[in-house]
Structure 1
Amino acid sequence: MKELIRLQQKIAPGLIKVVERRYNILRTIFYSQPIGRRRLAEKIGVSERKVRNDLDFLKERYLVNSTSAGTKITETGKELFYQLDNYIRVLRGLDNLESKLKHELGLKEVYIVPGSEDEAKAQQELGRRAARLLKEKLENNDVLAVNGGTTLAAVADFMLANNGATDITVVPARGGLGEEVEIQANTIAAQIANKLGGRYRLLHLPDNLDQTVVNTLIQKPQIKEVLNLAKEADILIHGIGTAEVMARRRQVDSLELEKILEAGAVGEAFGYYFNQTGEIVYSTTSLGVQLEDLKKKVGKTIAVAGGKKKAGAIISVVSDEYQDMLITDREAAEEILDLLRG
């Protein structure tokens, strides 16, 4: 792929620009459809005339179609959009960035998406890449454990219908946080299982219970069974939060929040708060998978997080001790490397 791109850059640099522009058009339509031509031109930063010409080209090949509401991508267009991912990845040097980040963090695999200034679109990019990775990694009879949160909700949204592994069981890795039902682990587990044609088990309990209550509940047969499935999952996928945001989501009181921040907490995962050097400086009572389970029981652990503002949190949480793979975006990756190199 790299050699092909080098040859194209030498003999037909204009062709590469056209491919990249049309990829951006397909990408923007994919995430924003239906979208009008003028809005599309604004989003990708090119003239409306160029967009009109490119749309005519894409329509002739049945990659997009237009309605009174705006332009939409066709199934054929989606297929091409996915096929172009690796070409664009190499063209933009994301493969080199992946290698550098993998080395710095000591992980087995790192995947970087182009990212976007639009936070919603950036999250969708992460969700789409994570969904594709899960499809590649899941095998027959696997158990998949998932956390809650907006990024994992995006993974569920972009999960494709199963055409490979069979008999997949999906379980929540944590209890709920009293947040919107759409981003709770139970909801995400059910959505992913349905798309994979698999089964799901639910955990109808809040995450931030008193330790005495937790100790009692985890002995209940139904709860114990789901927790054991999660703690010994073949694959576990989770997001990463910044310390203050996650403390507020967990409804930590103001005195405890102050204590967490004074301890130097930067990132959070599984109820554990980490400082910039990766030390656990605070933890909350929680119902679900613990960090020790990631080290000893879970097969593969995938972390998903992006955005420049989450770079410090990613550094604090992710290590070869707990995770095997990281999916992030270009903005976060470049900031992580800058921070790690001082």
Structure 2
Amino acid sequence: MQKVVPELKDVLERRYTILRAVRTLGPVGRRNLTHELGLSERTVRSDLDILRAQGLVLASSEGVLLSPEGEVVLARLDEMARKLHDVAGLEAALGEIFGLQRVIVVPGDSDSDPSVKRDMAQVAGEYLRSILRDGDILAVTGGTTLAQVAECFPGESFNRRVTVVPARGGLGEDIRIQANTIAVRLAEKLGGSYRLLHAPEDVLPCYVEQILREPRIRDVIALSKRAKVLLHGIGTAEEMARRRGLDDDTTMGLIARGAVGEAFGYYFNAKGEIVYSTSSVGLRLHDLENISKVVAVAGGRSKAWAILAVLSTGRCHVCITDEGAARRVMRLKESTKTEGGVTDDHQDWD
């Protein structure tokens, strides 16, 4: 079929991408869809006309949205995409390399397709619902990916007594992506309760002990250490240095020492070795040893180095990511294995 109609695969994947974007953004206007997907308006208009004629999307004054039949077809295409790209084989390979209990890979790359990040967040939410039990404690960190998980979390009544707690203090930035906010939103979706950590994440070393003596802060951190499940994001070293307000000299020093990923206030090189740590309030790396399920959620090929670094620490049990990140992590892992390390000469920055 591919030899007879070579463009068939490209057309199928493009329309699949459009349907996923409509599911994520709908109702959405054609111009917004064109902007989000980086396609020409003519191509989007033509494909939408065909999808509408097939009864897969509906047009309204607010834009296009999926029809009930479109939902069914898209679910089938999701399964087809997993088979076409051998996503199951990719999950198994990543799990074996990093010694993970489970890997879930969502088709696509969230760097180039915003609907993939939402799909990844929905999968993370579904996974949480499948493992949380009555009386469990769920600890969460902050960040845009986990904020998306909270937003996309299935809203049906969960009917279990789950307590959600922030695993880290706040970074004093956008309130929507702080751990406290995410804890509240997830608790509401779960029908459970929450506790708040009223403390900054980054503080001067001389103040950490004093802050940790405050009873309410100490109690919430103690609760997070008893978590059954920890859900956390992964940041690139440079991005997290910027969010923490580190000066240029410190940031350049991190990069010079090979820092590529960050989690829990620690900066790691590609081998998972700590090259720098901040004095901070919240769970620390050694606390993860006592948590049954440590679940990392991150995607986009631009985060592959960071994901490689954090998974190489051996502290994660489950990784939820997208295909773009997963395939690049596999290539990077192979390159670090054959080259015996990572240097600027062979980093895959493209």
Does structure 1 retain, via aligned residues, the 8 Å contact 2:55–2:69? no
TM-score, structure 1 as length reference:
0.85
Q: Specify whether residues 162 and 232 from structure 1 end up closer, same or farther in structure 2 by C-alpha distance, changes over 3 A only.
A: farther
Aligned position for 1:72: 65
Provide the secondary structure at the position in 2 that maps to 1:154.
Answer: helix
Aligned position for 2:319: 326
Aligned position for 1:210: 204
- The partner residue of 2:298 within 289, 305, 310 is 305
Structure 2: any 5+ residue segments left out of the alignment? 336-350
1:32-47 correspondence runs (5 A): 32-36=25-29, 43=37
Aligned position for 1:237: 231
TM-score, structure 2 as length reference:
0.83
Does structure 2 retain, via aligned residues, the 8 Å contact 1:193–1:199? yes
Task: Tell me, in whole angstroms, the C-alpha distance in 2 between the residues paired with 1:143 and 1:75.
Answer: 36
Q: What amino acid is aligned across from residue 105 of structure 1 in structure 2?
A: F
Aligned position for 2:144: 150
Q: Give the CA deviation at 1:15.
A: 11
Aligned position for 1:184: 178
- The partner residue of 1:104 within 97, 106, 124 is 97
Q: Specify whether residues 74 and 131 from structure 1 end up closer, same or farther in structure 2 by C-alpha distance, changes over 3 A only.
A: farther
Aligned position for 1:51: 48
Q: Give the CA deviation at 1:34.
A: 2.3
Does structure 1 retain, via aligned residues, the 8 Å contact 2:107–2:322? yes
| CA deviation profile, 1:19-44 (whole Å, cap 9, x unmatched) | 86765443120123223457758947
Q: Specify whether residues 181 and 191 from structure 1 end up closer, same or farther in structure 2 by C-alpha distance, changes over 3 A only.
A: same
Q: What amino acid is aligned across from residue 255 of structure 1 in structure 2?
A: D
Q: Note if 1:260 corresponds to 2:254.
A: yes
Q: Give the CA deviation at 1:227.
A: 0.6
Does structure 1 retain, via aligned residues, the 8 Å contact 2:157–2:191? no
Q: Give the CA deviation at 1:258.
A: 2.8
| CA deviation profile, 1:40-66 (whole Å, cap 9, x unmatched) | 58947867445323223335xxxx432
Does structure 1 retain, via aligned residues, the 8 Å contact 2:95–2:101? yes
- The partner residue of 2:328 within 324, 327, 335 is 335
Task: Tell me, in whole angstroms, the C-alpha distance in 2 between the residues paired with 1:171 and 1:75.
Answer: 37
Does structure 2 retain, via aligned residues, the 8 Å contact 1:41–1:51? no
1:266-277 correspondence runs (5 A): 266-277=260-271
Provide the secondary structure at the position in 2 that maps to 1:341.
Answer: helix
Task: Tell me, in whole angstroms, the C-alpha distance in 2 between the residues paired with 1:238 and 1:160.
Answer: 19
Task: Tell me, in whole angstroms, the C-alpha distance in 2 between the residues paired with 1:76 and 1:139.
Answer: 34
Provide the secondary structure at the position in 2 that maps to 1:338.
Answer: helix
Q: Note if 1:173 corresponds to 2:167.
A: yes
Task: Tell me, in whole angstroms, the C-alpha distance in 1 between the residues paired with 2:304 and 2:121.
Answer: 18
Q: Specify whether residues 195 and 75 from structure 1 end up closer, same or farther in structure 2 by C-alpha distance, changes over 3 A only.
A: farther
Q: Note if 1:195 corresponds to 2:192.
A: no
Q: What amino acid is aligned across from residue 198 of structure 2 in structure 1?
A: H
Does structure 2 retain, via aligned residues, the 8 Å contact 1:173–1:289? yes
Provide the secondary structure at the position in 2 that maps to 1:140.
Answer: coil
Q: What amino acid is aligned across from residue 66 of structure 1 in structure 2?
A: A
Does structure 2 retain, via aligned residues, the 8 Å contact 1:141–1:165? no
Task: Tell me, in whole angstroms, the C-alpha distance in 1 between the residues paired with 2:283 and 2:44.
Answer: 51
Task: Tell me, in whole angstroms, the C-alpha distance in 1 between the residues paired with 2:198 and 2:138.
Answer: 18
Provide the secondary structure at the position in 1 that maps to 2:231.
Answer: strand
Task: Tell me, in whole angstroms, the C-alpha distance in 2 between the residues paired with 1:76 and 1:293.
Answer: 47
Task: Tell me, in whole angstroms, the C-alpha distance in 2 between the residues paired with 1:75 and 1:216.
Answer: 57
Does structure 2 retain, via aligned residues, the 8 Å contact 1:152–1:183? yes
Q: Specify whether residues 17 and 291 from structure 1 end up closer, same or farther in structure 2 by C-alpha distance, changes over 3 A only.
A: same
Count of residue pairs the alignment pairs up: 327
Q: Specify whether residues 191 and 82 from structure 1 end up closer, same or farther in structure 2 by C-alpha distance, changes over 3 A only.
A: farther
| CA deviation profile, 1:232-251 (whole Å, cap 9, x unmatched) | 21111111111111011111
| CA deviation profile, 1:290-322 (whole Å, cap 9, x unmatched) | 111112x21200111111221111111114731
- The partner residue of 2:20 within 27, 31, 44 is 27
Aligned position for 1:4: none
Provide the secondary structure at the position in 2 that maps to 1:293.
Answer: helix
Between the two proteins, what is the percent identity of the paired residues? 43
Q: Give the CA deviation at 1:155.
A: 0.6
Task: Tell me, in whole angstroms, the C-alpha distance in 2 between the residues paired with 1:336 and 1:209.
Answer: 33
Task: Tell me, in whole angstroms, the C-alpha distance in 1 between the residues paired with 2:68 and 2:184.
Answer: 25
Does structure 1 retain, via aligned residues, the 8 Å contact 2:55–2:67? no
Q: Specify whether residues 81 and 159 from structure 1 end up closer, same or farther in structure 2 by C-alpha distance, changes over 3 A only.
A: farther
Could you say what the CA RMSD is over the residues aligned between the two structures, in angstroms? Answer: 2.9
Q: Give the CA deviation at 1:262.
A: 2.2
Does structure 2 retain, via aligned residues, the 8 Å contact 1:274–1:282? yes
Structure 1: any 5+ residue segments left out of the alignment? 1-7
In terms of mean alpha carbon deviation, does 323-332 or 69-78 score higher? 69-78
